[in-house]
């Protein structure tokens, strides 16, 4: 997973909790964050050279910090193409 996320990327959860890439991946690996299903509701992607921007609304089914449920979220992400791989940078 590390190769798809920039080393300086931070993640912000619905609760407002912020995590580094290492913290986020660590909690996936230790079972704190369990993502089961993502249903994409709406999205748009624009590409300009080696940079892309994505706006997305999806419903995530998960068990996080001991709480199970489904949550609908919207967000924007930026990706950079590095060595042929789209890496999330924001």
pLDDT score, position 36: 96
Instruction: Find, among 77, 78, 75, 76, the residue nearest to 51 by Cα.
Output: 78
| 63 Cβ neighbours under 8 A, 6+ residues apart | 34, 36
What is the tally of structural domains in the chain?
1
What is the mean pLDDT, run by run of 10 residues, along the chain of 90 residues? 94 90 95 95 96 96 95 95 95
Q: pTM for this one?
A: 0.83
List alpha helices for the chain, DSSP H: 21-29
Domain, as residue range, for 57: 2-88
pLDDT score, position 1: 86
pLDDT score, position 14: 82
Phi/psi for 29 (5° steps) reads -65, -35
């Amino acid at each position: 997973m590390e190769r798809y996320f920039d080393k300086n990327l931070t993640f912000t959860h619905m609760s407002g909790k912020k995590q580094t890439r290492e913290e986020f991946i660590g909690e996936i690996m230790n079972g704190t964050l369990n993502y089961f299903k993502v249903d994409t509701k709406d999205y748009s992607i624009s590409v300009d050279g080696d940079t892309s921007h994505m706006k997305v609304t999806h419903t995530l089914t998960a068990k996080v910090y001991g709480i199970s449920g489904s949550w609908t979220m919207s967000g924007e992400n930026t990706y950079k193409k590095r060595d042929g791989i789209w890496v999330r940078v924001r």
